[in-house]
Amino acid sequence: MTLYELVTTVRFWVIAVMAALSAMVSPAPAEAIDLDQLHVYGYIDLEYKQTTSDKYDRSGPDDANMKNGSFDQRHFNILADFEIVPALIVKSHVEFEHGINPGVGDASVVLEYGFVEYVAREWLKARGGKMITPYGQYNEIHDATPAYLTVTPPDTIYRSEDYGGFTFMPKWITGAAAFGNVPVFQHHHDIDYIVYIGNGESRSTINESEHDDNESKALGGRVQFTAHDESFQAGVSAYYGDRAISRARMAERHFAATAHANAAYGDFSARGEAAYSELGQWRETAWYLELSWRIGRFTPYARYETLDPDTDVSGDDWTIMLAGVNVRALDMLFLKFEWNQHDRGPANSDIITGEKDDYGEFRAALAVLF
């Protein structure tokens, strides 16, 4: 059986399962929501960024000059889970980013995820809808600033397109997934998995997961081991799909893989990840190592991350060393201060001047969870 036939077969069964799920859900008449079954969460954050260089900017709305420094009402996000019956749950996450004002700047409203989830067995659950791609250990929480110590996740993997590379993997997948967890080692620990099929990427830069402009569907998954007390976790993720780059190149092969691990010992934590991606003949790699030490409400942290945006080109690496502190001022209120030192090779395609450039960037954020 060829890969195409395999995908076609998988697609048929996924559609059949989703149709069956829809039939189970849709006949029910609309009823008032039982608030006991509704769980609503959210977060809001305010960021401040200022660089020591006025040459480059990747992060500011409206291409603001970051040397001037700028506040950014970065996220206002609402999540709602509704349990239709105990085994059937609808989950949603809506994001209002950069103080959205229609028609102005790069602000956006995004359905981060919206899917229905069915629990058949511990080892077999199903999900259908738009989801954040399960990839590595940051993508699924990539915008949820209260969920991680630093101001942003490792940019060299999760925003590589802003650092001279291409997107390691699509941030969203619209399609269906099967997932679950299996106890291992005398039932003490767990291995969890997720496999999915979806649209993959399209030429659209606005909402590329919502439609497919090539006939092959994207496939991917992740498997990871977790200790029973969460003190250690390690896993691998992979993605395979076609990506249309232009009308002439509608089906460039995009493959991505990453391996990650994290460990906690008392108040000390370490996490790392190494990623590889290829798009047609273009290959990129990146990795990071992050360490932190909790001291009461204060958690100092440091991270080293580096991206080689094109393995065939030398001198194009982009390295970021950052150090900062996360302050848990209240249970649901976090304050972050950090210094990022950027080191960009002269051959990096994101460089306008063609000169090697090092620059610093001060970042601060206030994140509130509710």
Q: Can you give the binding site for other proteins, defined by CB under 8 A?
A: 39, 41, 43, 46, 48, 50, 52, 68-69, 71, 79, 81, 86-87, 91, 93, 113, 115, 119, 121-122, 125, 131-132, 140-141, 144, 146-148, 181, 183, 186-190, 192, 226, 228-231, 264, 294, 327-331, 333, 335, 337, 339, 341, 343, 358, 360, 362, 364-366, 369
**Distance (Å, whole) CA 275 – CA 135:** 10
Per the CB < 8 A criterion, the answer to whether 179 and 191 are in contact is no
* Closest CB 154 distance from other proteins, rounded Å: 16
Q: Which DSSP category does 217 fall into? A: P
Q: How many CB atoms lie within 10 A of CB 230?
A: 11
Instruction: List all residues 6 or more positions away from 324 whose beta carbon is below 8 Å from its beta carbon.
Output: 149, 150, 151, 300, 301, 302, 336, 337, 338, 339, 363
* Closest CB 65 distance from other proteins, rounded Å: 12
Q: Which is nearer to other proteins, 59 or 202 (CB)?
A: 59
**Distance (Å, whole) CA 303 – CA 56:** 22
| β-pair type (172-184, 38-51) | unpaired
Q: Which is nearer to other proteins, 29 or 296 (CB)?
A: 296
Q: Which DSSP category does 295 fall into? A: B
Q: Which is nearer to other proteins, 183 or 346 (CB)?
A: 183
Q: Which of 265, 169, 145 is nearest to 218 (CA)?
A: 169
* Closest CB 311 distance from other proteins, rounded Å: 26
**Distance (Å, whole) CA 347 – CA 163:** 12
Q: Which is nearer to other proteins, 203 or 328 (CB)?
A: 328
Q: Which is nearer to other proteins, 13 or 185 (CB)?
A: 185
* Closest CB 13 distance from other proteins, rounded Å: 23
**Distance (Å, whole) CA 300 – CA 336:** 10
**Distance (Å, whole) CA 338 – CA 301:** 9
**Distance (Å, whole) CA 122 – CA 89:** 15
Q: Which is nearer to other proteins, 56 or 166 (CB)?
A: 56
Q: Which is nearer to other proteins, 10 or 366 (CB)?
A: 366
* Closest CB 248 distance from other proteins, rounded Å: 37
Q: Which is nearer to other proteins, 228 or 253 (CB)?
A: 228
Per the CB < 8 A criterion, the answer to whether 195 and 326 are in contact is no
* Closest CB 89 distance from other proteins, rounded Å: 9
* Closest CB 285 distance from other proteins, rounded Å: 24
* Closest CB 366 distance from other proteins, rounded Å: 5
Residue 24, phi then psi, degrees to nearest 5:
-70, -35
**Distance (Å, whole) CA 2 – CA 82:** 40
